[in-house]
Amino acid sequence: MRFLLVGDIIGKPGRKALKSAIDELKGKFDALIVNVENAAGGFGINKKVFEELVELGVDVMTSGNHIWDKKEVLEFIDTSSKLLRPANYPEGAPGSGLGIFEKNGISFAVINLMGRTFLDSNLDNPFKLFDKLYDEIKNLVKIIIVDFHAETTSEKWAFGMYVDGRASAVFGTHTHVPTADEIILKSGTGFVSDVGMSGCLYSVIGMRPKEVIDRFIYGFSQRFEVEDSGPIVFNGILLEVCPQSGKAKSISRVRKIFQEVQACATESS
């Protein structure tokens, strides 16, 4: 079974890049998994954008620390099986971090987890939580895909090595910059530290450079805005998994630049 795994999509430019890439890659994947925590105006997701992504053909939406930025998400995350939040939020938090899905007659599980280093040390331990979730589903599905949303490459690599042979693939998200370390680990888990973001190419991880630069120079915080002009870039991973064994057969990076000047008008969603 072939998957297209997509990291953080940043606002409207990211959604446009995703749509353009889907059109070009049609026929090369069976299921589409996208991290959507920055999909609406760069911070969080709302119902309108959720429905837009469903219409595009997104099968599963994962997220991370920005999942709660749009309070509107609380109105639909419990009833939207396609939308996951990190499973290691405390018990009782809205939504779910695990879903079992079916495409073309093949079942697969997606687990959404968040790292704790430099993020939120109050979260449940993602390593131990994976053990628990794996025990719950290992007899139900062969294919298990993990979005590991984390800050450091060391935590991501440690997690990938820890679950090697149990997860079919671990794809890292959050840092927005694609890494050149895609690999099939010794026991058959496909791994990449970070898929990278999709959004405006000439930006600071999808945001307008000025506000980010000012923060580094002057030390005061101000609201970041999504960069909305110039070429847009798509970053993703094409992954093939054996349905019988659940082991990764191939993994490769996809990077596409679409030359769209003034591609996206400023927007709040």
Question: So which residues are the catalytic ones?
Answer: 66
Which residue's structure tokens are 């280093």? 117
What are the DSSP E strand ranges found in 157-268?
169-173, 183-184, 190-192, 199-200, 232-241, 248-258
- Distance (Å, whole) CA 214 – CA 120: 25
Other Cβ atoms closer than 10 A to 44 = 21
DSSP-derived pairing of the beta strands 169-173 and 190-192? parallel
Give whole-number Cα distances, 229 to 13, 39, 198, 260, in Å: 8, 16, 13, 8
- Distance (Å, whole) CA 69 – CA 73: 8
